[in-house]
Amino acid sequence: MPIDPTAAGREGEPRTRSWTSKDALLYAVGVGAGLGEPTQELAFTTENSEDLPQRVLPTFAVLLAQAPAPSFGDFDPAKLVHAEQAFTLHRPVPIEGTVTATARVTGVYDKGKGALVVVESTAVLEDGAPLATSRSAVFIRGEGGFGGERGPSDDWAAPERDPDRTVTYETRPEQALLYRLSGDRNPLHSDPAFAARGGFGKPILHGLCTYGVTGRALLHEAAGGDPARLTGMYGRFTATVVPGQALTVAIWDTGTGEVLFRTRTDDGTVVIDRGRASVTA
């Protein structure tokens, strides 16, 4: 069957996942930490540097909160792209631990040219304390037109002034091969034949890798490098990234504990738009 518009409210099976210090280190390298200057970001890329206890990038929480989504239809997976991603941290991510997460479909929307499906999950630690809540949306091309609601609108707008901070981070040509080792083995990011089925000339970078690189920029430029201060982040994926492209993040401080951001590739294409991040004092 095509997209099932009645899937909203449906829950998947819980998933319990444990992670170690090594998993957190691999994720950090997978989103480019230390690239170009290995002695930078050692708190996130090493566990035994002098006077630098290991810390975990906040965006790693998105992976920990992932759980099997319930069925919401039958479609060609090559037509699915990651459309939006958000997370809220309820406490800093420890360097090791165990969580249980359950995914629930919270919305199925008709966007005309495709369907947008929103899934939310919360990762709960073994003692019952919530670690992080994740909300993601996927867009399935060609699956719209079923007569459903379009979904809520967003009033985000960039301030009419230059960004307060702008930073550029490089990615490696083999960045997707590194990032996939953190768990996302979708061949869209490694297999040229599969990528071609989706209409891409070559494998593209994982949206969550672009998101993680952007999260590093927000961490260092808006939160002083302290992962306990970056407590939430939302972004809408608007274009694909090819591994090896540089990413430039423009950041506006609203003075309210929220910063706005937008990420572009080195040719000026906006790849994450309508960005919001929560930063504590």
C-beta of residue 264 within 8 angstroms of C-beta of residue 245: no
> Active-site residue among 154, 189, 191, 266?
189
User: What is the number of structural domains in the chain?
Assistant: 1
Tokens of 124: 């709960």
Is residue 263 in a domain? Answer: yes
Query: Could you give the dihedral angle defined by the CA atoms of residues 237, 239, 242 and 246, in that order, rounded to the nearest 10 degrees?
Result: -80
Distance CA 214, CA 216 (A): 5
**Catalytic-residue membership of 184:** yes
* Side-chain half-sphere exposure of 162, counting CA atoms within 13 A: 3
What is the value of pTM for the model shown?
0.94
**Residue at token pair 């995914």:** 103
Is residue 132 in a domain? Answer: yes
Distance CA 47, CA 142 (A): 46
**Domain encompassing residue 243:** 15-279
Is residue 2 in a domain? Answer: no
Tokens of 186: 């979708």
**Catalytic-residue membership of 253:** no
Is residue 1 in a domain? Answer: no
CATH number of the domain bearing residue 32: 3.10.129.10
Is residue 5 in a domain? Answer: no
Coil vs helix vs strand at 190: coil
Q: Considering only CA atoms, which of 94, 74, 77, 60 is closest in space to residue 185?
A: 77
**Could you read off the pLDDT tens digit of each residue along the chain, which spans 281 residues?**
589 999 999 999 999 999 999 999 999 999 999 999 999 999 999 999 999 999 999 999 999 999 999 999 998 887 888 899 999 999 999 999 999 999 999 999 999 999 999 999 999 999 999 999 999 999 999 999 999 999 998 889 999 999 999 999 999 999 999 999 999 999 999 999 999 988 899 999 999 999 999 999 999 999 999 999 999 999 999 999 999 999 999 999 999 999 999 999 999 999 999 999 999 99
Is residue 265 in a domain? Answer: yes
> Active-site residue among 155, 184, 206, 253?
184
Tokens of 152: 């809520």
Distance CA 166, CA 164 (A): 7
